[in-house]
């Protein structure tokens, strides 16, 4: 864990660069498609936040029995739990924060698009779009955290199965 902050820095940098580059392609999109992409990015942030919380609240014992039965994803789930602090940091801080930044960038593109198309007051459109992004993100994460604490085993097992399917170590 000695180089963990450095790894997080570079992971964040490259993920943000990729997502920001993709955001730049959104300026020519239909407003409905742009809104849908923005909502998907917010939902990804919420899902990863839930997985990060679940990785800290779930217990290993559930997955040892599953692993003994050779259920796919059980060993990966144990790995996620044993590295709960790293999983939480990546899911909550890296991916969650990047999704927040990208949704804000998409919101800026959406604001510019609406302002130009409707010849509307940019201030009010900015307030409306920013408020919508904030409400969806903060409200979604609040609900997601409650679900993650109640369904932590299911969420960790879901992440473990994805990790198993994608052969991620």
Could you tell me the pTM of the whole model?
0.85
- State how far the Cα of 106 lies from the Cα of 38, in Å rounded to an integer: 6
As a whole number of Å, the end-to-end CA separation of the chain is 16
Mean pLDDT on 124-149: 95
What is the band of 29 on the pLDDT scale with cuts at 50, 70, 90? confident
What is the band of 75 on the pLDDT scale with cuts at 50, 70, 90? very high
User: Hey, is 55 helix, strand or coil?
Assistant: helix
What is the band of 119 on the pLDDT scale with cuts at 50, 70, 90? confident
pLDDT in tens, 31-49: 888 889 899 999 999 999 9
């Amino acid at each position: 864990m000695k180089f963990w902050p450095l790894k997080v820095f570079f992971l964040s940098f490259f993920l943000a660069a990729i997502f920001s580059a993709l955001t730049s392609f959104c300026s020519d999109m239909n407003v409905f498609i742009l809104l849908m992409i923005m909502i998907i990015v917010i939902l990804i942030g919420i899902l990863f936040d839930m997985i990060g919380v679940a990785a800290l609240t779930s217990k290993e014992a559930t997955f040892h029995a599953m692993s003994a039965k050779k259920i796919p994803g059980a060993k990966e789930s144990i790995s996620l739990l044993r590295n709960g602090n790293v999983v939480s940091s990546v899911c909550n801080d890296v991916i969650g924060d990047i999704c927040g930044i990208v949704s804000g960038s998409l919101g800026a593109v959406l604001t510019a698009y609406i302002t130009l198309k409707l010849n509307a007051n940019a201030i009010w459109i900015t307030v409306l779009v920013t408020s919508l992004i904030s409400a969806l993100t903060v409200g979604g994460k609040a609900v997601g955290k409650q679900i993650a604490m109640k369904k932590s085993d299911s969420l960790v097992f879901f992440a473990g199965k994805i990790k198993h399917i994608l052969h991620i170590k």
